[in-house]
Structure 1
Amino acid sequence: MELEIKTLAFGGRGVARQGGEVWFVSNALPGERVTVAEERRRRGIVEARTLEVLSPSPWREPDPCPKAFGECGGCDLAHVAAGFREKAYKTSLLGALRGAPEALRTAVEAATFFPSPWHYRLRGRLHWAPEAQVLGFYAPSSHRVASLEGCRVLSPGTLALLPAWAESLKNANLPAGELEFLEDLPGERRLLLFRGLFSGELPRLPGVDGFWGIRGRGWGQRELTLELPLPLTVPVGSFVQGNRFLLAELWRMVEALVREEGFSRVVDLYAGVGFLAAAARFGGAQELTVVEVSPRAARAARANLPQARVLSMPAEAAVGQGALVGADLVILDPPRGGLSPAVREAVAAAKLSSLLYVSCDPACLARDAKVLVDAGFAVRWAKLFDLFAGTHHVELAVLFRKT
């Protein structure tokens, strides 16, 4: 089957139409003619993979990772050249935001884009397959674990250590599970957390400062410090944005917003260890309320921001207890599913002047933005951060102001 690709869907697949059906094709870009192999078909939608690119797009990366679109499923936009990532992201986002308020779509089209180099990952999860003795990412549409020789998202230091780690895990008879890693900004120090059922002694691994299990057994350090304008302590297993190169840009965005607008009272409803709240503090915020559901991350937020009021509870409970009252700025960086109905309704009804919404899922952002716009908020600007370079995931920050 030969197809002409018309656009790019959110998720990284090229889109074509043929015989009344919509085709979603991996490793295909707008403007290309490709031959494809069908993989799945359901009610007018066909998923396929590219067999041959007959006429390549200018967007196409001339030297993509050789493991992409076959062996490793980690990077579904590995075929997009760095100079065209912004165009690719905006094309796919605008498709995903088709039902969003027009002001949000306009802001995304005009958004400043912050690109990322490779080897950006300072935290993430690897899969351990003891039968194959492989430590890596899943293969596409599979639970088979692919090895990561030459991986472009991990730091060179961690990449070089993977064979020795796999050998040690094999010798310790560690069962299948996930190995979560956390690095410092230079990529010189690292901690590991094993997410799996194991009651034995975790092995000593080269290049690792601490190795822990989810049941609290392990050895070495439990946390690292990220050297930002305000140093940030991060326990392994807790949330912090995972791109070592763009943390500074996210920090500057929040710091500048707080400083330029003179915001004094800031609420961060999904704070993790307090990264965005710390940037607000550095920008001049005097009163901080930090909300975080994870007890471990909330403890770290207290250590990172001793002046802040830290509420270790779900965002729903915090807004129910009046956490939004009197805030100049509310920061929203929710999980992928976006705001829950309770939080969405509370934010829309609160007497707020400004919201900074940081999202990694455009469909959920579109849903939440519609409620906010209907409640009287206007979209002021948007910024795009390539936090997950090589994948279709992109971080979208949007400033809303009450009109």
Structure 2
Amino acid sequence: MTTTQSAAHYPGDLIEVTVGAPAHGGHCVARLDGRVVFVRHAIEGERAVVRLTETARKGFWRGDAMQILEPSPDRVTPAWSHAGPDGVGGAELAHVAPAAARAWKSRVLTEQFKRLAKMDVDVPVAAIDGDDEARSMGYRTRVQLVAGESGRAGMRAFRSHRVVELDEIPLATEAASQLLAEEDVFGREWKPGTLITAVAPADGSPGMILVDDVPWHHGRADRRPNARQTVAESVRVGEDDFSYRVAAAGFWQVHRAAPATLVDAVLDLAGRGELAGEDVIDLYSGAGLFTQPLARAAGSAGSVLAVESGQRALRDARRNLREYGNVQFVEGRVEQVFSADSPARADLVVLDPPRAGAGRHVVDAIASGGAPSVVYVACDPASLARDVATFAEHGYRLQEMRAFDIFPATHHFESVALLVRD
């Protein structure tokens, strides 16, 4: 393999670098003649030959580690061969030992809070039972594939429309893989661009295949008006059981254990035994994953106001909470429902915003409502850090934070933070 160290570089050129610290996004930072190169498929401390993939940006380049000259002791053989360079974009840390991958994510969380919130945090990212033994595979109850130009199903490559054809998807649970096999998803020829989704509830309830969001049964689309569109999900937290029915094409946490893990963390940080009679606001409430446990904890003397903009999710939530008389629903974007002039007044606010975070407008509205406690569920550490910094401007203190590795083999993880106003 030939490398070049010339001043001008283009995509496809090979460079040799020593890999630096991990950064948010699933890559590590290396430097070439002072220029930052974001390197995927490498580990801090490794000496690697990197193929450049982007060189047009003035501030930084991107590249993939193609050959490891000096490997890290944390390097492992990926459990999925398609997870490396030129492969799929859904398992970019498969080459990192699970414990080291969690330490990687914890460092990213620390760095984001230091840079964006000017706070020092040290929060371990907790493993989910069974994931290490499965080498970070077999956890997704929902997988989505796309048909490439050849008609074969696969997944898109990182930052690309190119489809990597597959014969299996090891990220899927056994039940999801069985659904794909029953419909011969990998052996069938599809129209290019077709989206195929397998949904297999973690509790073993009947799953389904969707093709372009249409139910698929015995090799064909089921377009009957009464065709099943939903799946049942159940969540057990301690001795409590919660039941949901959600649109198969809608949002639900993909890790088999994520719903229970997150509900338990939210209730624990909210003070589960002290919520009776409290007024709670559940923002970005979706199908009601947190709404139902919060409503049960608040009891008949308390209340829950759930705010959601998605009509499909709101329909599911109304169905899932129909037995709870202490829940009120508001359809609309959170930033349109609440503002500093129309604040969110409650004893507790729980929010689970999209990856971009809640933003200043929503944080200002929560703070103006005077809620003494806020539980923030976040899938992006940078967005969380920015919003926590805004909460701090309003006198909120980050009292506790937990993090969970519910996206093993990727750079993603989930955090749950408790903010209190003294």
TM bracket, shorter-chain basis: 0.7 to 0.9
1:221 aligns with 2:228: yes
SS of 2:93's equivalent in the other structure is: coil
Give 3-state SS (helix, strand or coil) of 1:230's partner. strand
1:22 corresponds in structure 2 to 36
CA distance in 2, matches of 1:220, 1:155: 25
Q: Which one of 184, 199, 216 corresponds to residue 182 of structure 1?
A: 199
Q: Is the 8 A contact 2:29 2:38 kept in 1?
A: yes
Q: How far apart are residue 357 of structure 1 and its match?
A: 0.9
TM-score by length of 1: 0.87
Structure 2 unaligned blocks of 5 or more: 1-14, 132-136, 236-240
Structure 2 residue 20 is the aligned partner of structure 1 residue 6: yes
Pairwise mapping of residues 291-370 of structure 1 onto structure 2 (< 5 A)? 291-306=307-322, 307=324, 308-320=327-339, 324-325=344-345, 327-370=346-389
Determine helix, strand or coil for the equivalent of 1:275: coil
Q: Does the CA contact (< 8 Å) of 2:152 and 2:186 recur in 1? A: no
Which segment is superposed worse, 8-17 or 147-156? 147-156
SS in 2 for 1:30: coil
Say what the alpha-carbon RMSD is for the aligned residues: 2.7
1:255-289 per-position Cα deviation (integer Å, ceiling 9, x unaligned): 33342443622111101100012222343453111
1:54-104 CA-partner distances (Å, limit 9, x unpaired): 22222222344111122222211111111222201012233333433244x
- The answer on 1:52 being equivalent to 2:99 is no
Alpha-carbon separation, structure 2, partners of 1:396 and 1:212:
39
Counterpart-to-counterpart distance in 2, 1:388 and 1:299: 27
Q: Secondary structure at the match of 1:372?
A: helix
Q: Give SS of 2:176's match.
A: helix
Query: Is this contact kept in 2: 1:226–1:234, CA < 8 A?
Result: yes
> How big is the shift at 1:374?
0.6
Secondary structure of the corresponding residue to residue 83 of structure 2: coil
Q: 1:360 deviation in Å? A: 1.4
Pairwise CA distance, 1:334: 0.7
Partner of 1:82: 98
Quote the Cα distance in structure 2 between the aligned partners of 1:249 and 1:212: 34
Residue in structure 2 matched with residue 249 of structure 1 by the alignment: 261
Hey, what's the Cα distance between the residues in 2 that align with 1:241 and 1:167? 24
Relative to structure 1, the CA distance from residue 187 to residue 75 in structure 2 (aligned partners, 3 Å threshold; closer, same or farther) is farther
The verdict on how the C-alpha distance between 1:318 and 1:126 changes in structure 2, with shifts beyond 3 A counting, is: same
Residue 60 to residue 161, structure 1, CA distance change in 2 (3 Å): same
Contact persistence 1:133–1:167 (CA under 8 A): no
The amino acid across from 1:270 in the alignment is Y
Whole-angstrom distance in 1 between the partners of 2:416 and 2:222: 33
Q: 1:156 is matched with which residue?
A: 174
- Partner of 2:252, secondary structure, is coil
Aligned residue number for residue 65 of structure 1: 80
- Extract structure 1 runs of 4+ deviating beyond 6 A: none
Aligned residue in 1 for 2:397: 378
Which amino acid letter does the alignment assign opposite residue 221 of structure 1? R
| Aligned partner of residue 294 in structure 2, secondary structure | helix
Distance of 2:226 and 2:141 partners within structure 1: 20
Structure 1 residue 26 displacement after superposition: 1.1
**Cα 1:203–1:174 shift into 2, 3 Å:** farther
- Cα deviation 1:191-227 (Å, max 9, x = unaligned): 344437xxxx975237x9xx668xxx66631111112
1: CA distance, partners of 2:291 / 2:222:
28
Question: Does the aligned pair in 2 maintain the 1:165–1:205 contact within 8 Å?
Answer: no
TM-superposed deviation, 1:250: 1.1
The Cα offsets for residues 161-211 of structure 1, whole Å up to 9 and x where unpaired, read as 4364437964xx756232333321145622344437xxxx975237x9xx6
Question: Is the CA contact 2:46–2:68 (under 8 Å) kept in the aligned structure 1?
Answer: yes
Whether the aligned pair in 2 keeps the contact of 1:254 and 1:280 (CA below 8 Å) is no
Alignment partner of 1:389 is 2:403: no
**Superposed counterparts of 1:104-253, under 5 Å:** 105-106=120-121, 109-111=122-124, 113-115=126-128, 117=131, 118-129=137-148, 131-162=149-180, 164-166=183-185, 170=189, 174=191, 176-187=193-204, 189-195=206-212, 204-205=217-218, 220-228=227-235, 229-253=241-265
Q: CA 1:375 to 1:167, structure 2 compared with 1: closer, same or farther past 3 Å? A: closer
Aligned length: 386
Contact 2:124 2:402 in 1 (8 A): yes
1:279 to 2:286 alignment: no
For 1:252, the aligned partner's letter is: D
C-alpha distance in structure 2 between counterparts of 1:202 and 1:379, whole Å: 44
Counterparts of 1:205 and 1:323 in 2: how far apart (Å)? 51
SS at the partner of 1:271? Answer: coil
- Residues 181, 191 of structure 1: 8 Å contact kept: yes
Alpha carbons of structure 1 residues 347 and 169: separation in structure 2 relative to 1, 3 Å = farther
Q: Is the 8 A contact 2:208 2:215 kept in 1?
A: no
Q: 1:384 to 1:202 in 2, by over 3 A?
A: closer
Partner of 2:134: none
Partners of 2:215 and 2:259 in 1: CA distance = 31
- Aligned-partner Cα distance in 1 for 2:125–2:159: 33
Is 2:83–2:92's contact at 8 Å kept on the other side of the alignment? yes
C-alpha separation in 1, matches of 2:291 and 2:257: 19
Distance 2:27 2:175 in 1: 32
Distance in 2 between the 1:203 and 1:246 partners? Answer: 26
Change (3 A) 1:380 1:180: same
Aligned partners of 2:348 and 2:371 also within 8 Å? yes
Matched position secondary structure for 2:409: coil
